[in-house]
Amino acid sequence: MEFQNLLDDIVGSIKPHLGEGNVANSIPELAAVEPNQFGISVATREGEVYSSGDSETPFSIQSISKVFALALVLACDGESIWKRVFREPSGNPFNSLVQLEHENGIPRNPFINAGALVVADRLLSVSAGETNGVLGLLRDESGNAVLQVDTGVAASESRHNHRNQALAHFLASCGNLDNPVDEVLDAYINQCAVSASCTDLALASRFLAANGARRDGAALLDPHQTKRINAMMVTCGTYDAAGEFAYRVGLPGKSGIGGGIIAVVPNNCAICVWSPRLGSSGNSIAGVAALDEFTSRTGLSIF
Ligand code: GLU
């Protein structure tokens, strides 16, 4: 089936899910979003884009940014980050403090908040003066030069980030941050507060479906590094529901509390879905349902 027809069908069939779940409120500004929106975009590795629904509406990318930050650190700095972050699913909430103390300040993986803070710290160190490398990468790969940080969301998170402050100070106490805590938190908050649409994010994620090749053909990552990021998205990308996501969708994916999810069909295409209402695991309910339908109907799954 043509992607365009399929995406239009999915927009129709997910409608019954649009009232399910609740928008995130841990960052108060995120709760202001109109909750019943849904968008989907697919970018093929050749660069064709198919979109339907609210695919051009910018939303807060939040934890989806963690994938791009990790890609940049691997691209600039190779494998040394793995001395400071593990690669196992956490089995705990994404902002848990308990596990970090048990494991002496080495976060379980780069997609929980503690791990993402360590990655943000390393990104600050290796990107000489650049404070939001994720925004630059997203602009370059999406071709959308006007992508911005939503400063209202960033300010809102800054006022309500006691838990991330606690994680960052604990990491610093263990010697696992090189930069001042406040600078790391600012960098992390600003990468999470980038606003982008489904189409922007599908295009920006295309390198994960193209063995690490950027929009202009240059290598961001080599094929092995790309495989490894995709593997980590399978095991750690969708909070504490990675098993259920693998069962239903069967693709590498990374979700954020803004309701977006990126997913990758290696060597084929990148997909982004967005709908703000989240289930109890923190993943977009309509977004997961849409990806489930996409892979079930196309057979495009890694399993
Ligand atoms: N900036 C958010 C936080 O640190 C990201 C949450 C998420 O999308 O998982 O709580």
Residue 140: the pLDDT is 98
Name the phi and psi angles at 262, rounded to 5: -100, 145
Residue 274 has pLDDT above 60, yes or no: yes
Residue 133: the pLDDT is 95
Give the integer Cα–Cα distance in Å for 203 and 198.
8
Residue 278 CA to ligand 1 centre (angstroms) = 13
Residue 255: the pLDDT is 98
Residues 278-296: pLDDT tens digits? 999 999 999 999 999 999 9
State the virtual CA torsion across 93, 95, 96, 101 in degrees, nearest 10.
140
User: Is the CB–ligand 1 distance for residue 167 below 6 Å?
Assistant: no
Point out the least confidently predicted range of 41-55, 117-131, 135-149, 243-257: 117-131
Residues 58-84: pLDDT tens digits? 999 999 999 999 999 999 999 999 999
What number is the average pLDDT over the span 237-262? 97
Q: Which atom in ligand 1 lies closest to the alpha carbon of residue 63?
A: 8
User: Is the CB–ligand 1 distance for residue 71 below 6 Å?
Assistant: no
Q: Which atom in ligand 1 lies closest to the alpha carbon of residue 258?
A: 8
Residue 65 CA to ligand 1 centre (angstroms) = 9
pLDDT > 70: what percent of the chain?
100
Name the phi and psi angles at 93, rounded to 5: -55, 155
Residue 100 has pLDDT above 80, yes or no: yes
Find out if CATH 3.40.710.10 is the number for domain 4-298: yes
User: Is the CB–ligand 1 distance for residue 154 below 6 Å?
Assistant: no
**Position 8: which residue type?**
D
Contact assessment for residue 260 and residue 61, using Cβ atoms and an 8 Å cutoff: yes
Residue 91: the pLDDT is 85
Q: Which atom in ligand 1 lies closest to the alpha carbon of residue 113?
A: 4
Give the integer Cα–Cα distance in Å for 145 and 138.
9
The label of the residue with tokens 């300040």 reads 105
What number is the average pLDDT over the span 26-51? 96
Pairing state between β 253-255 and 260-265 = antiparallel
Residues 202-232: pLDDT tens digits? 999 999 999 999 999 999 999 999 999 999 9
Residue 232: the pLDDT is 97
Q: Which atom in ligand 1 lies closest to the alpha carbon of residue 64?
A: 8
Q: Which atom in ligand 1 lies closest to the alpha carbon of residue 62?
A: 8
Residue 290: the pLDDT is 98
Residue 1: the pLDDT is 57
Residue 96: the pLDDT is 87
Residue 6 CA to ligand 1 centre (angstroms) = 31
User: Is the CB–ligand 1 distance for residue 157 below 6 Å?
Assistant: yes
Residue 34 CA to ligand 1 centre (angstroms) = 19
Residue 9 CA to ligand 1 centre (angstroms) = 31
Residue 244: the pLDDT is 97
Residues 130-167: pLDDT tens digits? 889 999 999 999 999 999 999 999 999 999 999 999 99
- Domain ranges in the chain are 4-298
